[in-house]
Chain A
Amino acid sequence: MRPCGNFDKTYSQTLAILHTRLQWVLWIVFLALVILLPFFAGSYLTSVAIMIAVAVISVLGLNLVVGYTGLLNLGQAAFMAVGAYTCAFLVNNMGWNFFPALLAGGLGAATVGVIFGAPSLRVKGFYLALATLAAHFIIIWFLMEWGGGSTGYESPRPYIFGLTFSSDHSYYYLVSGIAIFLGIAAKNLTRSRIGRAFIAIRDHDIAAEILGINVFVYKLLAFAVGCFYAGIAGALLSNFYTYTNIESYTIADSIWYLGMVIVGGMGSIIGSVFGAVFIIGLGQFALFVSPALQAALPGALSAAQQMQGALGGFLFAITIILFIIFEPRGLAHRWELLKASYRLMPFSY
């Protein structure tokens, strides 16, 4: 929603993403925060920020598929694993540099996504959810059998032109830079012909077909783009952990990414950021609280990690359920409401 009196006088104004001065101020403040974060945050918060940036990339891709095109995808974590394994394989066994391997990982994930998105020609809704669920198990099995087994691959931090990203600090800048770039790319994609086709397919696929949109091609394109994002995110995640292993890409992770889409807001680019921050924050809260809870409830769970996982899962489930029932449009919708009330502030209708 634009404020009163803000009109477009030139074509470049129509094409702009940011229309008002306040939006520019907020954008610059956000960029400054991203750049300055490692200076005032400790090493722990920096690593959390890396995880958030990786999740943002993955959720952006998932939001393009689920939120914009309306295709249910329960296999996002597996597509991330494809990207991670492709990248790790090329770096370890072929001697590639990380950056071309990262791109290849994204493209590899996109290819696999197109293959498993193919049933979307005939099926939709639940059936597509089941197809992607099956895709998850098949991909993980395949990677387990032919991708270095349960040990996986070493994934050292990347370097290029004498620049190494070995510390968390420098790796943070790499990941957040890629996240911001891909975020702007996604925003622009959704404003283009392709994005409008995605939205038309989501709203009514038969009507979209009558409008002259090739539904199958655009559905596959949505899967390709979404899985490309997933592949990039997966490769970045496993290089953050410095090893590639299927432990980081389980069906539960897919559900968590879907939860981020729900919490952030389906069909919203900024919502993807909100959702990733909120849910990762929730997981960190569980990590923070679980030792105290364990002391309070002796004998409940022996292993601390198990307690953390259980508490995280429990909080996650409650959050998602509350959001679906009370705010299905997510935090992005709350953000819109906030902006509207700010504009109308002294004289609300």
Chain B
Amino acid sequence: MLTVVFSGLSSGAIYAIVALGFVTVYKSTKVLNFSHGMLVVLAAYTSWSLISWTPLPIWLSITLTFAISMGFAMGIERLLMRPLIGQPIFASVMLTLALMVGLKALTQVIWGGFSRRYPVPIIPTGVWSLGGIDLPLVRIVILMMALILILALAVYFNYTRSGLAMKVASEDHIIAQSVGAKISQVFSTAWALAGITATFGGIALGSIMLISPDLEIIGLKALAVMLLGGLESFAGAIIAGLLIGLAEAIAGGYLSGLVGGAIMETFPFMLMILILIIRPYGLFGWKKIERV
């Protein structure tokens, strides 16, 4: 039982990290970036090839990965998302979906669609025994990483000048400009942050499972997390991430005997429908009242 709970919590931490990327972009630009899952996979592959194809030390490879994926995300924003400001949401949904397809194809062309594993573990491996239960150190580190990332983002959004500018830009572009926030800067910062969270996610993902282009499914599951937590809430992302990870592990552990093993993969989506019917704004999201 405790093992199930713990493995659920640690995959939940990954969902939370990935969901953070969605929240960051959504909170500041009102764009739901469906391609974020692929950005995570791309970051994982980039770090893998920097470590195994170049003689650079690991810390430098990781730093470079952060820089590359940040630059890439900012490039996407500058080239593709900026022309869409003011367009209906369908345009941004479709563009990020197309981007997801395109990035998947790109990873297949560059890395051949094979699964990869880090040649040397980035996060220390090992087992931490606690009262008779063996807890893998990797998963504890990932959980801590998610918490620290969330704390940092929450502080950034609530206490710094540019973070507050992002909050106001999400509310109304004209109001934001009249209080001196630069919209274009807000957008590129949001995507840069998405690139950074994607790198964290990629490294976490690569440390506990094989890197493959099919991991985009994690990006889609993280949408359920984002929805449960509320689209605008960082704290919601971690709580919902852990909850959904837990629910998935429990469904996999206890329901798979009744209805087959694939229930584990589908369970987050069932929760997603339920959330949409019962509480569409999530646990901590803002309930919007529509005025005409």
Contacts and interface: CB of A to CB of B under 8 A. Distances in A.
Interface of A: 66, 70, 72, 74, 116, 118-119, 122-123, 125-127, 129-131, 133-135, 137-138, 141, 144-145, 206-207, 251-252, 255, 258-259, 262, 266, 300-303, 306-307, 309-314, 316-318, 320-321, 324-325, 328
The residue in B97, B108, B113, B292 that gathers the most chain A C-beta atoms within 10 A of its C-beta is B97
29 contacts: A66-B90, A74-B97, A119-B276, A119-B277, A123-B276, A125-B89, A126-B93, A129-B32, A131-B272, A133-B223, A134-B269, A134-B272, A137-B269, A206-B290, A206-B292, A301-B113, A309-B105, A312-B105, A313-B105, A314-B109, A317-B102, A321-B98, A321-B99, A321-B102, A324-B84, A324-B94, A325-B80, A325-B95, A328-B91
Given A300-B109, A320-B94, A134 B292 contact: no
B56 interface: no
Interface of B: 32, 80, 83-84, 87, 89-91, 93-95, 97-106, 108-109, 112-113, 220, 223-224, 227, 231, 259-260, 262-263, 265-266, 269-270, 272-273, 276-277, 280, 290, 292
Contacts of A316: 98, 101-102
A82 to B, nearest CB: 16
Contacts of B109: 300-301, 307, 310-311, 314
Given A122-B280, A131-B272, A145-B259, A325 B93 contact: no
Tell me whether chain B's interface is mostly helix, strand or loop, or mixed: helix
A313 B101 contact: yes
Contacts of B91: 324, 328
B265 A314 contact: no
A263 B80 CA distance: 17
Nearest to B272: A134
A321 B80 contact: yes
Nearest to B290: A206
Contacts of B108: 301, 306, 309-310, 313
B112 A313 contact: no
B273 A138 contact: yes
Contacts, number: 136
B269 A138 contact: yes
B260 A134 contact: no
A127 B105 contact: no
Contacts of A138: 266, 269-270, 273
B280 A123 contact: yes
A125 B101 CA distance: 21
The residue in B83, B94, B276, B290 that gathers the most chain A C-beta atoms within 10 A of its C-beta is B94
Given A130-B276, A134-B273, A141-B262, A258 B97 contact: yes
Given A131-B276, A259-B94, A306 B102 contact: no
A137 B270 CA distance: 9
B89 A313 contact: no
Given A126-B93, A324-B94, A135 B273 contact: yes
A137 B95 contact: no
Given A207-B292, A301-B112, A328-B91, A252 B101 contact: yes
A118 B243 CA distance: 26
Contacts of A301: 108-109, 112-113
B266 A141 contact: yes
A123 B97 CA distance: 20
Contacts of A310: 104-106, 108-109, 113
Contacts of A307: 109
Contacts of A317: 98-99, 101-103, 105
A321 B95 contact: yes
Nearest to A126: B32
